[in-house]
């Protein structure tokens, strides 16, 4: 991505979907329209978003995840052996129903927006996960494109529902081997399709360290039985490194955050990156895409050998951050990172779960505009 200016601006991935597209998504799930019909509509929405990003001046564009119901359960119709289950479906199959209900009560998310891609058979990629997203973007923009993918740890934890998965896989570790194979095949094809930036989403990593054994959790992907945090982190690092081994070309990123479903900051997880630092440094990614606009993330830490995708705006608030404030956040990060190692982005997506976006397209565009203005000012200072 040599064409990029200093402080390139990008998003973490998702943008809110238009009402019509959400309606079509429901019709698609009910089997009342075809994938082709849905995709035609999603493409119209993606083209609008591309225009917004071009106009605002976003340097690395995404398709806003318009074809996905959310950032990880969308794999259900692309991978054989996965069944999309509602929380009510899950309650039917899990053994410890009381514990499961306790977790559901603390989720604070409208249950209708939560579906889990559960493993019920041997995993095989039926069609690519995001290659068509990448190809469509490359056809319609000259700018570098970012493709977010659910990380192997997130997918393994979400898919592993012992009551169902054990009929096929002896353990979570065994299941993870097929997840790794599927993601490696995907990366290979994404590189061929010209992906400039591939970002793995692993938000559950914060849940591992910040809940410290409490049952409180924030995503259905975090439902599977918890081990010691250190063991879980080692497992996650190993999965990501196996997925990434030997690949080069695109920028590889890793995004984590502390939950992105509610504007109420008090119910989202809190904690600095310290307990994750060594693990994050050990993962073979070029860039860490991290929250820093929210105070819950603490102050900017240096990360050995990594560039930083610095979160400078909160995707969940209606107020647009001032350019001054964004510049201050960047100056704070410049204490630990060279200007060439900083990319500017929001803390997370604007529409992580398709039917409960955390902001409107208008506010999202205004926030991106503020980041672009800040980047322009900073480029002058560092020219």
Binding site for Zn ion (CB under 5 A): 257, 260, 348
Closest approach of Zn ion to the CB of residue 255, in Å = 6
Closest approach of Zn ion to the CB of residue 107, in Å = 16
Closest approach of Zn ion to the CB of residue 294, in Å = 11
Question: Measured from the CB atom, is 205 or 348 closer to Zn ion?
Answer: 348
**CB 62 within 8 Å of CB 10:** yes
φ/ψ of 23, rounded to 5, equals: -65, -45
**CB 356 within 8 Å of CB 113:** yes
Question: Measured from the CB atom, is 358 or 365 closer to Zn ion?
Answer: 358
Question: Measured from the CB atom, is 260 or 329 closer to Zn ion?
Answer: 260
Kindly report the length of the chain.
383
Closest approach of Zn ion to the CB of residue 149, in Å = 13
Beta bridge partners of 255: 201, 289
Question: Measured from the CB atom, is 165 or 199 closer to Zn ion?
Answer: 199
Question: Measured from the CB atom, is 240 or 348 closer to Zn ion?
Answer: 348
φ/ψ of 263, rounded to 5, equals: -75, -10
- For residue 53, give the 3-state DSSP assignment: helix
Write out the two tokens for 199: 């970002």
Closest approach of Zn ion to the CB of residue 161, in Å = 23
Beta bridge partners of 199: 148, 253
- DSSP classification of residue 130: S
Interatomic CA distance for residues 303 and 313, integer angstroms: 21
List all residues 6 or more positions away from 156 whose beta carbon is below 8 Å from its beta carbon: 172, 175, 176, 179, 239
Closest approach of Zn ion to the CB of residue 269, in Å = 11
Can you give the three-state secondary structure of 257-309, one letter per residue? CCCCCCCCHHHCCCCCCHHHHHHHHHCCCCEEEECCCCHHHCCCCCCCCCEEE
List all residues 6 or more positions away from 220 whose beta carbon is below 8 Å from its beta carbon: 87, 90, 107, 114, 115, 116, 158
Closest approach of Zn ion to the CB of residue 94, in Å = 26
Question: Measured from the CB atom, is 50 or 257 closer to Zn ion?
Answer: 257
Question: Measured from the CB atom, is 109 or 257 closer to Zn ion?
Answer: 257
Question: Measured from the CB atom, is 233 or 257 closer to Zn ion?
Answer: 257
- DSSP classification of residue 9: B
Closest approach of Zn ion to the CB of residue 221, in Å = 12
């Amino acid at each position: 991505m040599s064409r990029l200016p200093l402080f390139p601006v990008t998003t973490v991935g998702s943008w809110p979907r238009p009402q019509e597209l959400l309606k079509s998504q429901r019709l698609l799930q009910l089997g009342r329209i075809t994938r082709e019909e849905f995709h035609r509509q999603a493409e119209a929405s993606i083209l609008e978003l591309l225009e917004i990003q071009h106009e605002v001046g976003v340097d690395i564009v995404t398709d806003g995840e318009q074809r996905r119901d959310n950032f990880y359960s969308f794999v259900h119709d692309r991978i054989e052996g996965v069944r999309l289950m509602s929380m009510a479906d899950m309650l039917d199959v899990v053994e410890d129903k009381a514990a499961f209900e306790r977790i559901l009560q603390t989720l604070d998310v409208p249950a209708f927006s939560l579906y889990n891609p559960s493993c019920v058979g041997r995993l095989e990629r039926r069609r690519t996960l995001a290659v068509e997203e990448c190809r469509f973007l490359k056809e319609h923009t000259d700018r570098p494109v970012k493709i977010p993918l659910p990380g192997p740890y997130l997918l393994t934890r979400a898919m592993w529902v012992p009551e169902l998965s054990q009929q096929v896989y002896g353990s979570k570790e065994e299941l993870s081997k097929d997840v790794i194979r599927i993601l490696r095949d995907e990366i290979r094809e994404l590189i061929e399709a010209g992906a400039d930036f591939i970002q793995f989403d692993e938000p559950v990593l914060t849940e591992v360290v910040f809940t410290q054994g409490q049952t409180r959790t924030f995503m259905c992907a975090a439902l599977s039985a918890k081990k010691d945090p250190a063991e879980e982190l080692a497992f996650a690092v190993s999965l990501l490194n196996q997925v990434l081994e030997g690949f080069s070309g695109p920028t590889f990123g890793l995004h984590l955050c502390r939950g992105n479903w509610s504007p109420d900051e008090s119910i989202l997880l809190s904690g600095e990156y310290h307990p994750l630092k060594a693990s994050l440094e050990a993962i073979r990614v070029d860039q860490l895409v991290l929250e820093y606009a929210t105070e819950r993330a603490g102050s900017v830490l240096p990360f050995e050998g990594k560039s930083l995708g610095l979160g400078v705006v909160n995707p969940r608030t209606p107020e647009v951050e001032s350019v001054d404030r964004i510049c201050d956040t960047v100056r704070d990060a410049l204490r630990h990172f060279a200007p060439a190692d900083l990319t500017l982005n929001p803390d997370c997506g604007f529409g992580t779960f398709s039917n409960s976006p955390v902001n409107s397209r208008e506010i999202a565009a205004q926030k991106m505009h503020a980041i672009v203005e800040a980047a322009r000012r900073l480029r002058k200072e560092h020219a």
